[in-house]
Chain A
Amino acid sequence: MTTIAIRGGRVVDQLGERAVDVVVDDVTGTIVAMAETVEADATIDAEGCLILPGFVDLHVHLRQPGNEAAETIETGTRAAALGGYTAVVAMPNTTPCMDSAGVVEEVLAHGKVALCEVKPSAAITVGRMGEALAPMGELVDLGVRMFTDDGTGVQDAQLMRRALEYAGSLVVDDGTPIVLSQHCEVTALSQGGVMNEGAWSSRLGLGGQPAEAEELMVARDIALSRLTGVRVHLQHLSTAGSVALVRAAKAEGHPVTAEATPHHFTLTDAECASYDPVFKVHPPLRTAADVAAVKEGLVDGTIDAIATDHAPHTLDSKEQPFDEAPPGMLGLESAFALANTELDCTIPQLVNLLSTAPARIAGLSDRHGGPIEVGRAANLAVVDTEHRWTVDRNALASLSTNTPFHGREVRGKVRHTVLSGEPVVVDGRATR
Chain B
Amino acid sequence: MKNLLSISDLDRADLEGILDLAASFAEVQSRDIPKVPALRGKTVVLAFFEDSTRTRTSFDLAARRLSADVVNFSVASSATRKGESLRDTVETISAMGVDAIVVRHGSSGAPHRIARWTDAAVVNAGDGWHQHPTQALLDCFTICNKLGGLDGRKVAICGDIQHSRVARSNVEAFTKLGAEVVLIGPRTMLPPSLDGWPVKVEPDLDAVLPDIDVAYFLRIQQERLSEGLFPSIREYRVRYGLTTERAARLRPDALVMHPGPMNRGVEIDPEVAADPRAVVLEQVAAGVPVRMAVLYGLVGPGRFDPQDTEPQRQGVA
State the A residues within 8 Å of B (CB): 197-199, 201-206, 208, 210, 274-276, 315-317, 319-324
Contacts and interface: CB of A to CB of B under 8 A. Distances in A.
A322 B116 CA distance: 14
B192 A323 contact: no
Interface of B: 85-88, 105, 107-110, 112-113, 127-131, 162, 165, 168, 191-197
Given A204-B108, A321-B105, A198 B113 contact: no
A205 B130 contact: yes
B196 to A, nearest CB: 6
A400 to B, nearest CB: 14
Contacts of B194: 202
A186 B196 CA distance: 29
B192 A198 contact: yes
Nearest to B80: A320
Interface centre among A198, A204, A208, A321 (most CB of B within 10 A): A321
B111 to A, nearest CB: 9
A180 B219 CA distance: 47
B192 A322 contact: no
A288 to B, nearest CB: 13
B129 A205 contact: yes
Given A321-B86, A321-B113, A210 B192 contact: yes
Contacts of B127: 205
Given A320-B85, A321-B110, A208 B105 contact: no
Main secondary structure, interface of A, reads loop
A322 B109 contact: yes
Contacts of B109: 204-206, 275, 321-322
Contacts of B88: 316, 319
Given A274-B112, A320-B85, A321-B113, A208 B165 contact: no
Contact of B168 (A205, A275, A319, A323): A205
Nearest to A317: B85
Contacts of A210: 192
A208 B163 CA distance: 12
A201 B109 CA distance: 12
Contact of B87 (A202, A319, A323): A319
Nearest to A202: B191
B192 A205 contact: no
Contacts of B105: 321
A323 B108 contact: yes
A260 to B, nearest CB: 24
7 contacts: A198-B192, A204-B130, A205-B108, A316-B85, A320-B85, A321-B109, A322-B107
B108 A322 contact: yes
B165 A205 contact: yes
A367 to B, nearest CB: 43
A201 B190 CA distance: 12
A202 B192 contact: yes
A319 B86 contact: yes
A201 B192 contact: yes
A275 B113 CA distance: 7
Nearest to B127: A205
A319 B108 contact: no
Nearest to A192: B227
